[in-house]
Amino acid sequence: METIRAARVDDLPAILAIYNHYVAQSTCTYQIQPDTLAERSAWFDAHGAAHPVTVAVNAGAVVGWGSLGPFRHQQAYARTVENSVYVHHQHHRRGIGSRLLADLVERARGLGHHVVVALISADQEASVRLHERAGFSEAGRLREVGHKFGRWLDVLSYHLLIA
């Protein structure tokens, strides 16, 4: 069983490698160009205390990561966060994503956030199931707002009210 803890600067190369695999291979992220380590470092530095970044570590290796980020920048959204969960592609279906997400929800609750939002590409069954199993419910569909690998993509919004 892996340990979930707050991410550190020295986890960033592993976080980057896990993420860039999906940038190249998957519609789970709408990013098309891989991140650089400098961009991931800036992303990490921008996450203050209200917006944690976490890692799942197994036998000393980072096998997944999660984060809570601001949903929108206007002040009235301050208690709504958007989650991300990425598990190394060789470590799927072992419960790591579920445990990362449950941990993020607990952290969100502890930080006084009110709603956790997940924006999920509609073709990403794994992510839809992961969030539904964690108690998230669908709040709507934005049609054809993404375009990757030569096709238009719908985005589902999921949310969980936590407090």
Ligand X SMILES: CC(C)(COP(=O)(O)OP(=O)(O)OC[C@H]1O[C@@H](n2cnc3c(N)ncnc32)[C@H](O)[C@@H]1OP(=O)(O)O)[C@@H](O)C(=O)NCCC(=O)NCCS
CB of 8 or CB of 92, closer to ligand X: 92
CB of 76 or CB of 86, closer to ligand X: 86
Q: Please name the residues in contact with 161: beta carbons below 8 A apart, sequence gap of 6 or more.
A: 114, 115
CB of 50 or CB of 95, closer to ligand X: 95
Binding site for ligand X (CB under 6 A): 22, 28, 84-87, 92-98, 120, 124-127, 129-130, 133
The minimum distance between CB 54 and ligand X, in angstroms, equals: 13
Within 10 A of 89 (CB to CB), how many other CB atoms are there? 11
The minimum distance between CB 32 and ligand X, in angstroms, equals: 15
CB of 65 or CB of 75, closer to ligand X: 65
Percent helix, strand, coil in the chain, to 5, is 35, 35, 30
Strands 115-121 and 137-148 come out as unpaired
Residue number of the CB closest to ligand X reads: 97
CB of 75 or CB of 101, closer to ligand X: 101
Q: How far apart are CA 59 and CA 69, in angstroms?
A: 28
The minimum distance between CB 75 and ligand X, in angstroms, equals: 25
The minimum distance between CB 87 and ligand X, in angstroms, equals: 4
Nearest to 89 by CA among 18, 30, 36, 20: 18
The minimum distance between CB 73 and ligand X, in angstroms, equals: 20
Instruction: Give 78's Cβ-side CA count (13 Å radius).
Output: 7
